[in-house]
């Protein structure tokens, strides 16, 4: 099973089709897209994903078509809801359960920055302890990391909350397999500083089943998005 997470850039029909082409190459079973909008490219993207077999889709409502939200699509049925339940739209995280994929618990996220970020990180920290005992994955653009390990600067504001997740038992799947390596999933256009904003944090039992974790940087270099694509393959 392969999970694809990508923070996309919106545009016209041609960009949407290029995004679909890049997704199709990966042959993923579950995809999560961040910065998903309800504008003119929405139908192109959703219909294109259905044609790939990703016919089960959860797309939260937004107040405006210009709002950045997120979505999940899969080739098998799943249950989904906003996470946390009491957060206002547009959605910044979705909690999903996939009974046919090893009873996988998935939280797809695109967390805000600065002062708006802590409530979401605290909600992740406060998840029921059963999440860490089951097959669970937090994936997406978390907008946080460890300075000088996941960035070239010290500008992460809430590293201590990210580190608390790791202390609680969540495994940074890419870092656990690349201990002394640095790869960046987003590059600042102004200063050209690199950041690894996009993460996949797994419960210990799920981490044991993960075959590979990697970034597809070519989609960023090709200008399809300002973020690299994150790919997690599970036995």
Domain boundaries, the chain: 2-234
Is the pLDDT at 108 greater than 90, yes or no?
Answer: yes
Sign of CA dihedral 129, 131, 133, 138: negative
Q: C-alpha 96: how far from its chain's center?
A: 13
Is the pLDDT at 49 greater than 70, yes or no?
Answer: yes
Residue 116 DSSP code:
G
pLDDT at 225: 95
Is the pLDDT at 176 greater than 90, yes or no?
Answer: yes
Across 126-134, average pLDDT: 95
Taking only the tens place, the pLDDT of each residue in 136-153 is 999 999 999 999 999 998
39 vs 177, which has greater pLDDT? 177
Is the pLDDT at 12 greater than 70, yes or no?
Answer: no
DSSP readout, 214-232? EEE-HHHHTTS-SB-EEEE
pLDDT at 11: 64
Output the CA angle 35-39-42, nearest 5 degrees.
75
Please determine, looking at this structure, whether the domain spanning 2-234 carries the CATH number 3.40.50.300: no
């Amino acid at each position: 099973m392969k999970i694809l997470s990508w923070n996309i850039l919106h545009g016209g029909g041609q960009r949407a089709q290029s995004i679909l082409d890049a997704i199709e190459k990966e042959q993923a079973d579950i995809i999560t897209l961040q910065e998903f909008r309800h504008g003119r490219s929405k139908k192109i993207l959703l219909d294109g994903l259905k044609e790939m077999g990703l016919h089960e889709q959860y797309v939260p409502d937004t107040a405006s078509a210009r709002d950045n939200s997120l979505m999940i699509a899969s080739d098998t049925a799943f249950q989904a809801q906003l996470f946390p339940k009491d957060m206002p739209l547009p959605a910044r995280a979705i909690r999903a359960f996939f009974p046919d994929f090893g009873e996988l618990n998935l939280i797809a996220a695109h967390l805000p920055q600065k002062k708006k970020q802590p409530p979401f990180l605290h909600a992740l920290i406060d998840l029921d302890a059963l999440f860490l005992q089951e097959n669970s994955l937090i994936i997406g653009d978390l907008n946080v990391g460890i300075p000088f390990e996941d960035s070239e600067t010290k500008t992460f504001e809430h590293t201590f909350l990210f580190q608390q997740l790791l202390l609680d038992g969540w495994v940074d799947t890419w870092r656990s397999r690349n201990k002394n390596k640095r790869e960046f999933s987003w590059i600042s256009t102004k200063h050209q500083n690199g950041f690894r904003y996009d993460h996949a944090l797994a419960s210990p039992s799920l981490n044991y089943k993960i075959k590979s974790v990697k970034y597809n940087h070519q989609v960023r270099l090709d200008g399809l998005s300002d973020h690299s694509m994150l790919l997690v393959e599970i036995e």
